A and B are shown apart, each in its own frame.
Chain A
Amino acid sequence: MFDKEKWQEIFSSLKNNKMRTTLTIFGVFWGIFMLIVMLGFGMGFKSMMQEGFGDFATNSLLIWPQQTTKAYKGFPRDRSYMFTNEDVQLIREKFPEIEFIAPKLRAFGIEGANNATRGTKTGAFSVEGTFPEYNLIDPSKITHGRFVNNVDIKEYKKVAVIGKHVKDVLFEEDENPLGEYIKINGIYFKVVGVLTKGASNISLGSDKDRSIVIPLTTFQKVYNRGNEVGFCAVTAVKEANIALVQQKINIFLRRRHSIAPDDDQAVGGFNLAKEFKKFFNMINSVVILIWIVGAATLLAGVIGVSNIMLVVVRERTKEIGIQRALGATPFKIMNNIITEAIFLTASSGYVGIVIGVGVIELVKKIANSSGSDNPFFTHAGVNLNVALMALLILVVFGALAGFIPAKRAINIKPIDALRDD
């Protein structure tokens, strides 16, 4: 490997044809450069997508009541019904694969109609009654105070967690809202917390910043909603198949509410896990596409190297003849040519990797210093394994690029090589 005679030969042929060498090298350089840059921003794209999901529980499911579409047990079709507290209680007890179930009831969210007031300040917000578990499924960021807790639920406490925007509307800028009272649809609630949207960009229903969260039990009681529940967010334990859980819950709810067993429309549902999976599949497809395009570009560069090596062999026919007359074995000749091809691809590829990583880092640096929080730029990057893998591919491709010319070289008879003028 570290054999001066061999490298002398390689460098002499490269030096004698500087322009040709440069152009050849450029093909491979460009291939690997593109691959690295695309992979780097692919990574940025991936983390941009993942950051969008944030800490949202991915193995989760939303269910809500809809109108029935089939007449059953004496009930007409198009019947409206609601889930109840008992439904929630029974589902929680019946299905061990469920991690959390959080019922929710929302009302008065009609834009324009003011429903919350404090002194002279007033605004229209979405009001939601829920359970503490809800914040584990679709987490909000609690900036002050706390979220609704079990004591609130049990004791029907008139407490409210208000969105950031709600606070801005109902309170002065430097005012501490905790412990203050606001009037929601005529009833006073004590503010115990301020929330804003969590790390996830997924928004279910209303804008969190513009909503007021109160205990579900309080909601049902003070607004005369009995034991009604609007919809439920459900998360399953990691090992459980959420689609199966959804099916089981549907069957259970249809039976409880006298809905036809084949009425698929009556219980509305949204399987987030399925959507997440689709998304991750899409991201992976993009990464695969990048590899295919990158590898193909690289291959074009490598074919260039192979081509040039054929020319080199042709040019050096006589020299190869001399070497063989002096006792160089075919293996030695082949070895030299393959080494040269590997050297060409690996060194130009290495430069491509370094510059590619450099460009990504530069973009990152510029994005960071300009205060961008777009993960597409700030989280772009190539991990070491990918770079090493690319280098390995280069060496393999280089060897392949050298193989055909090397084979050609040793197929030349020494005598023909010597005659070549």
Chain B
Amino acid sequence: MIELKGLHKSYITGNNKLHVLKGLDLTIEQGELVSVMGSSGSGKSTLLNVLGILDSYDEGFYKLNNTLMDNLSEKKAAQYRNNMLGFVFQSFNLISFKNAVENVALPLYYQGVNRKKRNMIALDYLDRMGLKEWADHMPNELSGGQKQRVAIARAMISKPKVILADEPTGALDSKTSLEVMDLFREINSSGITVIIVTHEKDISEQTDRIIHIKDGIIGSEFTSKN
């Protein structure tokens, strides 16, 4: 599903060149539940951004679903993000002036699905998250766990191949964190590849494969067979 080969990425700030990814190789198969760990500055966020086609890379190649992701136009990138990827963020990133169901329906809006239909589908996804009765609530009326479940529903609605989660439990208490992780496992069991970036050990331990990033390359890897 995901194939990275010799990936290099540097950031240039003024006269300084910060080499973040230094020839990273990584293959993730369809249906895997992977966590990416690493200390701050190790390059794990950069990796996630490249995987999410939110950022470009300098060298090597990145294939998503056997399609080379290189030199994409902004429009093409937007379409790939919309069709193949779902994002879940640490700070939820819900749109503040849209209610829960409208937030969930947003990716379908960008696909051109009409309002009635997309809101119906969105309501169905909220129902699966157990938030049907919160559909009309605005983000600021929801708890952290609820917000994250809305965000997950939003990531799911376009039926992506891969879900990319950036510290999805970072802003949640441990009980809610567990619930969210259960949700990811459930999503994963339906065949969707889930990649979670985290620095919490007990979160990563709930995934099937843990990848440690160190100094821009893969430091160590651990696969659990449970």
Contact = CB atoms under 8 A, between A and B. Distances in A.
Interface of A: 4-5, 8-9, 12, 318-319, 321-332, 410, 413-415, 418, 421
B93 A322 contact: yes
Given A5-B106, A329-B110, 17 more contacts: A5-B98, A8-B102, A322-B93, A326-B81, A326-B110, A327-B79, A327-B82, A327-B110, A327-B158, A329-B74, A329-B75, A329-B79, A331-B75, A410-B74, A413-B55, A418-B89, A418-B93
B161 to A, nearest CB: 14
Contacts of B79: 327, 329
Nearest to A324: B78
Given A318-B93, A332-B110, A4 B115 contact: yes
A323 B97 CA distance: 13
26 contacts: A5-B106, A8-B97, A8-B98, A8-B102, A12-B96, A12-B97, A319-B96, A321-B93, A323-B110, A324-B81, A325-B87, A325-B93, A326-B107, A326-B110, A326-B154, A327-B78, A327-B107, A327-B111, A328-B78, A329-B74, A329-B78, A329-B79, A330-B75, A331-B75, A413-B54, A415-B49
Nearest to A330: B74
The 8 nearest A-B residue pairs measured at CB: A327-B82, A12-B97, A327-B110, A415-B54, A329-B78, A415-B55, A330-B74, A322-B93
Contacts of B177: none
A9 B97 contact: yes
B152 to A, nearest CB: 13
Nearest to B155: A326
B54 to A, nearest CB: 4
B106 A325 contact: no
Interface string B32-65: 0000000000000000010010110000000000
Nearest to B98: A8
Interface of B: 49, 52, 54-55, 74-75, 78-79, 81-83, 87, 89, 91, 93, 95-98, 102, 106-107, 109-111, 115, 154, 158
What is the interface of chain B mostly: helix, strand, loop, or mixed? helix
A105 to B, nearest CB: 86
A328 B77 CA distance: 10
A325 B110 contact: no
A186 to B, nearest CB: 97
A326 B98 contact: no
A319 B95 contact: yes
What is the interface of chain A mostly: helix, strand, loop, or mixed? helix
B82 A326 contact: yes
A323 B106 contact: yes
Contacts of B115: 4-5
A326 B54 contact: no
A276 to B, nearest CB: 61
Contact of B54 (A8, A323, A325): A325
Most chain A beta-carbon contacts within 10 A, residue among B81, B83, B158: B81
A331 B76 CA distance: 12
B168 to A, nearest CB: 14
Contacts of B54: 325, 413-415, 418
Contacts of B98: 5, 8
A236 B48 CA distance: 87
A241 B107 CA distance: 72
A297 to B, nearest CB: 33
Contacts of B52: 325
A323 B74 CA distance: 13
B140 to A, nearest CB: 13
A330 B78 contact: yes
B103 to A, nearest CB: 9
Contacts of A326: 81-82, 87, 106-107, 110, 154
A272 to B, nearest CB: 67
Contacts of A414: 54
Given A5-B102, A415-B54, A322 B75 contact: no
Contacts of A331: 75
Contacts of A318: 93
Contacts of B55: 413, 415
A12 to B, nearest CB: 4
Contacts of B82: 326-327
B109 to A, nearest CB: 5
Contacts of B97: 8-9, 12
Contact of B95 (A322, A332, A410): A322
A262 B87 CA distance: 95
A63 B109 CA distance: 80
B91 to A, nearest CB: 8
